[in-house]
Amino acid sequence: MAGGKLTPRQKMINMMYLVLTALLALNVSKEILNAFKTVNNSIMKSNSVVNDKNTATYKAFEDAVKDPQTAAKAAIWKPKADKVKTLASDLYGFLEATKLELKKRSDYKVENGVEEFKEDDIDAPTYMMIEQKKGTEVYNKMLEYKKQLLAVLNPADFADNPTLQATIKKDLAEFEKSLPISMDIPESHTGTQYSKDGKGWSESNFHMTPTIAALTILSKLQSDVKSAEAQMVDYYFGQIGQVKVVYDAFQAIASANTNYCMPGDPVEVYAGVGAFSEASKPTIVINGSPTALQDGMATFKTTAAGAGEHSVPVSISYTKPDGTIATLKKDIKYTVGTPSGAAVMMDKMNVIYIGVDNPLTVSSGAGAEKTSVSGTGGGLAINKGAAPGKFVARATTVGQATINVNVTGGKAFQFPVRIKRIPDPVPTLGGKLRGGNAQVGTIKAQSGVVAVLENFDFEARFNVQSYSMIYSSKGDVYRSETSGPLFNAQMQGFMGRAKPKDIIFLDDIKVVGPDGQSRKLGQIAFQII
């Protein structure tokens, strides 16, 4: 039943049908119904992700039309994208209306904002989809949708450009094979011969099928609609071109307003990209924290503290005209002088970080044996280090605190400090991959999720507690959850059978750092190429 050249979707439908038929005489168990509900929810979540991505692409078309440098090409391709959007929206809405009608026939009601209907009702799908021929209507609309999508990309529209016309003919032939619209009728395991039309398709999928299973099949068709829409609009947007501005050269800039100062003096670090343009899309991290641009420059401000040389790490990443990413890393150094009286020098950062040892150097002019150091506020505790004048500070609470320096028989000094959490790490696969396009071999070589802490001077490790993986292949969606950083057996299976055009999506990534607090990181997604 699942052999030959059947697609994964067809195999799934065949298996569903086999299970349902075998359990009819016993009534469908609650576990089976819950399984279908889980699959349906996963498909609808995947549909939402693809829809958000499509919405962003349509917004990019709007921007391209307004930009003088891309307006000409956008005027050619945007109408085609708009036509695809209309076709997809109409069919998706029709399938949604069909699902609602099916639920209403299964005693649909809403109580306290929660939908309820007879999930195990096998009469409603059979009557509506087969006897009333709604299934045939769905079948015909899906096939017509594929024809209409292909018709939008008409080579005749480019007769004035033979080279482009030839390319489009070739691409069109590929779309005929790759668009995920397949209404094939699986072979019956009971020997029943289904007609190769809408009637046969309806009977093979909805005869004596519980409502929740029928809804899952319709949600799967909605996924096919959105995936096909995404393929087409991404192709059209790619024809506009990604590069808007060409530069002769780039120069990353990073500097401080001073390289020598006294405690209490302001220190500012400036970073940016020469000949700045939005096309370069710079991302700037100063002292471990992402810093927004203003008038083409990012500014980091701090207050000088602690005598001696200090260093502020700066990382600048930007997109070059050819689409590649360039990164410059530079340490901006400055020196803080020692005034008369006491001085507190933070040996690494200019703030106290929770969960790690923060080294301090304290000088009072009276000698280490006559100098005592304590902390006030923020759970700040200060202990003596291994050498005279060296101390280690640890804190527990974000906010303001004070380092108190007391000299025996002399004056007391107070130095305000800030207490911060260690910045969030970046989720990666294997410590390097951060999402986007990925080769099949590269993906299959990965074994788990690693949280990477960037541009941070302390030795601080974040351990991955848990995460979930969604694997999408030709519209079929699978989900798995695991504890710890390594892939579980099911996830390893997803990675092992990954192939071009598949999508791997990691979310609900939770980590714990040196402060013992659990954090939820962002999502990462990969398109296999």
Q: What is the pLDDT along the chain (529 residues), one digit of tens a residue?
A: 444 455 565 556 556 545 544 544 345 556 667 767 777 787 888 788 888 888 988 998 898 888 887 888 888 999 999 999 999 999 999 999 999 999 999 888 888 888 888 888 888 899 999 999 999 999 999 999 999 999 999 999 888 888 888 888 999 988 888 888 888 776 665 666 778 888 888 888 888 888 888 898 898 899 889 989 988 999 998 888 643 444 444 556 655 555 545 455 566 665 665 555 554 557 888 888 888 777 667 787 877 666 567 788 888 887 655 455 778 888 887 666 544 466 787 767 778 999 999 999 888 766 778 888 999 999 999 999 888 889 999 999 999 999 999 887 777 888 999 999 999 999 999 888 999 999 999 999 999 999 998 888 788 899 999 999 999 998 889 999 999 999 999 999 999 999 999 999 999 999 999 988 999 998 899 999 8
| C-alpha pair distances (Å), 503 with each of 39, 137, 224, 331 | 17, 31, 14, 38
Instruction: Report whether 427 contacts 447 (CB < 8 A).
Output: no
Contacts of 82 (CB under 8 A, 6+ apart): none
Quote the tokens at residue 4: 């030959």
Question: What amino acid is encoded at 308 in this protein?
Answer: G
Whether pTM exceeds 0.85: no
- Backbone torsions φ then ψ of 500, nearest 5 degrees: -50, 140
Q: How far apart are CA 214 and CA 122, in angstroms?
A: 9
Helix (H) or strand (E) holding 294: strand 293-294
Contacts of 311 (CB under 8 A, 6+ apart): 331, 332, 333
Instruction: Report whether 250 contacts 275 (CB < 8 A).
Output: yes
Q: Which residues pair with 160 in a beta bridge?
A: none
Q: How far apart are CA 336 and CA 261, in angstroms?
A: 5
**pLDDT for 371:** 85
Q: What is the pLDDT of residues 309-338, one digit of tens each?
A: 778 888 888 765 545 577 888 888 766 654
Secondary-structure breakdown of the chain: helix, strand, coil percentages, each rounded to the nearest 5: 35, 30, 35
State CA 288 to chain mean position distance.
21
Domain topology for 340-421: Immunoglobulin-like (2.60.40)
Q: What is the pLDDT of residues 465-495, one digit of tens each?
A: 999 999 999 888 999 999 999 999 999 999 9
Quote the tokens at residue 440: 């099949």
Taking Cα atoms as reference points, which of 345, 362, 528 lies closest to residue 444?
A: 528
β-pair type (463-473, 503-512): antiparallel
Domain topology for 245-339: Immunoglobulin-like (2.60.40)
**pLDDT for 245:** 42
| C-alpha pair distances (Å), 508 with each of 46, 196, 470, 475 | 15, 43, 11, 22
**pLDDT for 418:** 93
Taking Cα atoms as reference points, which of 171, 296, 281, 295 lies closest to residue 234?
A: 171
Radius of gyration of the chain (CA): 31
**pLDDT for 244:** 43
Contacts of 241 (CB under 8 A, 6+ apart): 70, 73
Q: How far apart are CA 256 and CA 38, in angstroms?
A: 55
Taking Cα atoms as reference points, which of 227, 221, 208 lies closest to residue 139?
A: 221
Q: How far apart are CA 526 and CA 529, in angstroms?
A: 9
Instruction: Report whether 404 contacts 375 (CB < 8 A).
Output: yes
Instruction: Report whether 405 contacts 399 (CB < 8 A).
Output: no
Quote the tokens at residue 94: 């029709």
β-pair type (436-438, 524-528): parallel
